[in-house]
Amino acid sequence: MSGALGVDWAVDWVRRSAAAVGEHRAELSGLDREIGDGDHGENLVRGFQAVVAKLDDETPATPGGVLKVVATTLISTVGGASGPLLGTAYLKGAQAAGDSESLDAAALVAVLTAARDGVVLRGKAEAGDKTMVDAWTPAVEAAAAAQADGGDAAAVLAAAAGAAEQGAAATEPLVARKGRASYLGERAVGHRDPGAQSSAYQLRAAADAARG
């Protein structure tokens, strides 16, 4: 499969995600402090450090295997809502990836779509609710459009990352309808959703890993 991405890409994605949440730990916790309980950055750093440690011990043979390690580790180590939500995203993505040794553009669209649908299913949220879905949904739509235009795997991920970043920024004027931020009502307006922002960092890490 020309341009398809294998297990090395998946591991690099995880390592880049760990680095990104580490670099932006204070920012993510600051965003969370404004509309949540202030521990989003710390929780994600702990979770991804645990994922990297597991991959250092034993690397799965397929991208789907890597995503399953991410899923189970985040669910068991990340507190709050983000652990189960992100864990479900990676678990559904792993199931979509299956046992394939490499993922082409179409497969990656399927992985991203399954991941988004997992977040929606677990969190009962939809686009516009000021949650991480507001990063994942435009990412899926942009990825599908890029693939329909003949883009390869790297192009699909680049499109997804750019759309996720725009989606995270677009949460600022929204009133939160789900999660702890929903208790604030109009006071959440003007604040960016931390889960959407951290999701954008993870999707950018996937695109950067594809570029090598």
The predicted-structure confidence for 134-148, as pLDDT tens digits, reads as follows: 999 999 999 999 999
Token pair of 122 as six digits: 């677990």
User: CB–CB of 178/85 below 8 Å?
Assistant: no
CATH number, position 47: 1.25.40.340
Q: Which domain holds residue 48?
A: 5-211
pLDDT of residue 188: 57
Phi (first) and psi of residue 100, to 5 degrees: -60, 140
**CA distances (Å), 197 to each of 29, 96, 135, 156, in order?**
11, 24, 7, 19
Low-confidence ranges of the chain (pLDDT < 70): 1-2, 35, 175-188, 190
Strand partners, 47: none
The predicted-structure confidence for 162-191, as pLDDT tens digits, reads as follows: 999 999 999 988 766 656 555 555 655 767
Number of structural domains in the chain: 1
pLDDT of residue 1: 41
